[in-house]
Amino acid sequence: PLAHTERSVLMDRRQLLDRAAQSGEERVLLAHILDKCEQSRQRNIPAATDFLSPAEQRAAQDLLHAAAIHEGYAFRGGYERAERKMLFFLPDWQEEADESESMTALRCTYRKEDTLTHRDFLGSLMAQGITREKLGDILVSEGSCDLIVSRDIAPYLLQNVTSAGRVKLSVSEIELSGLNIPELKVKEIRDTVSSLRLDSVLAVGFSLSRGKAAEAVTSGKVQVNWTDCQKPDRPVAQGDTLTLRGLGKCVLEEVGHQTKKGRVFVTLKRYL
């Protein structure tokens, strides 16, 4: 039989997952994150998860806060503004996460006259049987694409990735410090909204009618701060990130004063 303290830890873990997980799939992910955390703490060694999406990072952060863990971990994705990141747990003798232990970068080069997209590269990698959690950001430039990948799959990809669609690729490993990071294309939008309801702000951010925006929300295509939201009347606040499947994301950068007619000035950044 389990000792009392072990039973207590198991019960705490179960209650923690009950409280934090929004679905069965998320529960499996969060249980894996707790395993990594415990592995690092018990053995006093570094431990890292696979790559997490922004929504998964937020869920992980909420889980760690609920477990009263506020330090000794870091999210890293290979470069400063990476979207997909690994979660590193640090032993007490390590101050900074060593990204290069768990991830590396591959550069795929091709003829500049060939046009390839993020989707082309993701599709060719999935066709090789690579799961999404083994892949970080995919950085497409003219004539090349840098892939951030789990170190354990890099040798396989170096040998087996030879094309994306019908385009031939030449693939080599590069240092994370040598990544070719495309410049962000951002459009600033200044407007007024009748209120800070999600559908009103979404309509301005993506140049939609209020009705179309509300329909997108209720049909499950919208996330607020990487969390699904199906309530058009949900209030949003300065700093919130709104994501609309198929159209990208925008950030509510600033909420200004009200006009005489009661409308609210807003500034949004739309990522193109």
Q: How far apart are CA 230 and CA 129, in angstroms?
A: 33
Sheet holding 186-193, edge to edge: 186-193, 264-271, 248-258, 241-244, 222-224, 227-228
Mean pLDDT of the chain: 91
142 neighbors 112 (Cβ within 8 angstroms): yes
Confidence of residue 148 (pLDDT cuts 50, 70, 90): very high
Closest CA to 51 of 148, 133, 144: 133
Does the pLDDT at position 6 exceed 60? no
Tokens of 14: 């179960």
Tokens describing residue 101: 């232990």
Check residue 24 and give its pLDDT. 84
Q: Which residue has the tokens 């046009």?
A: 115
Angle between helices 4-20 and 54-66 (to 10 degrees): 140
User: What integer pLDDT is reported at residue 32 of this predicted model?
Assistant: 94
pLDDT of residue 19: 82
Inform me whether the pLDDT recorded for 146 exceeds 80. Answer: yes
Can you say how many angstroms the Cα of residue 207 is from the centroid of all Cα atoms in its chain? 24
Map residue 58 onto helix, strand or coil: helix
In angstroms, the Cα distances linking 170 to 49, 78, 139 are 29, 21, 16
Single-letter amino acid, residue 206: F
- Cut 0.85: pTM above it: no
pLDDT at residue 59 greater than cutoff 50: yes
What's the pLDDT at 210?
94
Give the pLDDT of residue 2.
37
pLDDT at 245 over 80: yes
Q: What's 154's DSSP letter?
A: H
More reliable by pLDDT, 4 or 254: 254
pLDDT tens across 177-187, in order?
A: 999 999 888 99
